[in-house]
Structure 1
């Protein structure tokens, strides 16, 4: 259940096989000038470093200290033992959520790690609590995590919950606070382009940069809900930090067109694209994209029933 390093890992959920976790080699090739269009290399190990069977009822994944950890619906035992000193950053499936802490056994060697339920954020629900609310964006700084609940606002947690404001974080899914760059890097809401935000506790994030060149070749991204948008692959992208200012964007892809009213059979993916870029601070302190790799692709067998593709990210030191 452990990887050979502390790099981000890729999770692929096959409805028949379960969750497969791959160790990817994603890098910009050495020897390229920083202002050139550097090539990107993608190498996938032939077998997954972890495999959680579909029958286990997996609900969340994390990676810590080189170990892959799974939490299950019918069991509170983790799939592997993480480092006890490293925070976890979990994968969020379909926006549905439950807040838990992962704790070691009281007696060393006495069973696996346990998940302990945490209080829910102070969200005001309509219809006596029957309203469906999902997490649209989240990120962590140290031991505090910020989440946005769609149409409800932004909340943070570090032992107790507090409401930050009625505003929502302006990105989709998990964003990453990168201390060496001094900002939060994520994928902008609607366009899903790589973006940078300044963040001050208690205030809405301030957008600093959006990089249109991180749009995949041949795709035009427009705001969600724009029915005039051109045809494009259906995707739920995720972001990984590779260190030294390098980021990778994973975009699951399908040739299928989504149903016009978002109903119909669940989307199945048959490929994923990967784009590696490098961000740096200029001499004046401005954040710049200094290198962009070529898009790499991973294709899956036609027999696969892939319903999720995304990164799990080791915690970034603050």
Structure 2
């Protein structure tokens, strides 16, 4: 799916590509998760109109339409109903705006989507009955997407503790409404001091099976001496690039986890002009 909502389905076995229907509404800053044979798309910044902010791409052989795939709208997260009194007084409309902001999200079990917020706890969406509930007043100990690795029975992601976002693992099944999940293991190998002028932007984790992962980190770095001024604003020539790192997690004799870091490769997205912010660079 691209930034305009155009959706393609690729069938790897036949190497065929099929055009999918577009969602009912454009998503400003969406997150996506796969549960079973459905793709769930949730806008993390729904805005004042939260209709169609949460949709699922579903398949039905019984529908009398040209295409068997279709988007089904789902109830938005009930974040607004749990705000404390001070927040409600400051905001006139809290019915569907995400004031707390998404901190982490993942799939737990065969039917649960967990959305962790920065200040409102963690919410669970049951895909079997399309109902939201409160998983706990705690937040997941991760930032961004969290991936489950069945070979270890653990969830992997980037820790919300510290500054560089260490690669970490946790057993989310051990959590309860009153007991928050804790990190089972944290690795510092990928959180070494960055080269000068490297500005971290985003991080992604892709499980490859058998305890292997591809870790993708996006960076920007301004080019020295390349700047120009327009309308009183200073602009820098910035290079955007990704660093792909292979990692492998295995268990020792006593069940302890250890990570083997493999090669890293850098891929450049090219250069662009951005407005200079002294606090950013």
Identify the match of residue 160 of structure 1 among 131, 141, 162: 131
Q: Aligned-pair distance for 1:279?
A: 0.2
Matches within 5 A, 1:168-187: 168-187=139-158
Partner in structure 1 of residue 77 of structure 2 = 121
Deviations 1:168-211 (A, max 9, x none): 11111110111210111011114321101121252421211111
Identify the match of residue 242 of structure 2 among 265, 272, 279: 272
Deviations 1:226-276 (A, max 9, x none): xxxx8542311111001110111111111149xxxxxx99x9762111111
In 2, Cα distance between equivalents of 1:87 and 1:284: 38
> 1:87, 1:143 within 8 Å by CA — same for their partners in 2?
no
Shift of the 122–302 alpha-carbon distance from structure 1 to 2, 3 Å rule, reads closer
TM-score (ref. length: structure 1): 0.60
In 2, Cα distance between equivalents of 1:58 and 1:186: 27
Deviations 1:122-172 (A, max 9, x none): 322422434542221100022211111221110111131110111111111
> 1:63, 1:88 within 8 Å by CA — same for their partners in 2?
no
TM-score (ref. length: structure 2): 0.67
2:233 matches 1:284: no
> 1:84, 1:104 within 8 Å by CA — same for their partners in 2?
no
Structure 2 segments unaligned to the other structure (5+ residues): 28-33, 47-52, 224-233, 275-281
Partner in structure 1 of residue 212 of structure 2 = 246
Identify the match of residue 45 of structure 2 among 84, 93, 96: 96
Matches within 5 A, 1:1-318: 52=2, 57-58=4-5, 66=12, 71-72=22-23, 86-88=37-39, 95-96=44-45, 98-104=53-59, 106-107=62-63, 110-111=66-67, 113-123=69-79, 124-125=82-83, 126=88, 127-130=91-94, 132-133=98-99, 134-141=101-108, 142-158=110-126, 159-189=130-160, 190-199=163-172, 200-202=174-176, 203-215=179-191, 218-219=193-194, 232-256=198-222, 270-289=240-259, 291-302=260-271
Shift of the 84–195 alpha-carbon distance from structure 1 to 2, 3 Å rule, reads closer
Q: How many residues align?
A: 225
Structure having the larger proportion of residues in strand: 2
Select the structure with the greater relative contact order (CA < 8 A; seq sep ≥ 6): 1
Root-mean-square deviation (CA, aligned residues, Å) is 3.7
> 1:273, 1:298 within 8 Å by CA — same for their partners in 2?
yes
Q: Aligned-pair distance for 1:62?
A: 9.0
Partner in structure 2 of residue 46 of structure 1 = none
Structure 1 segments unaligned to the other structure (5+ residues): 1-18, 20-51, 77-82, 221-229, 258-263, 306-318
> 2:238, 2:272 within 8 Å by CA — same for their partners in 1?
no
Shift of the 294–167 alpha-carbon distance from structure 1 to 2, 3 Å rule, reads same
Deviations 1:60-118 (A, max 9, x none): x7978647867446589xxxxxx99634366x77x436322222354366236222221
In 1, Cα distance between equivalents of 2:150 and 2:103: 23
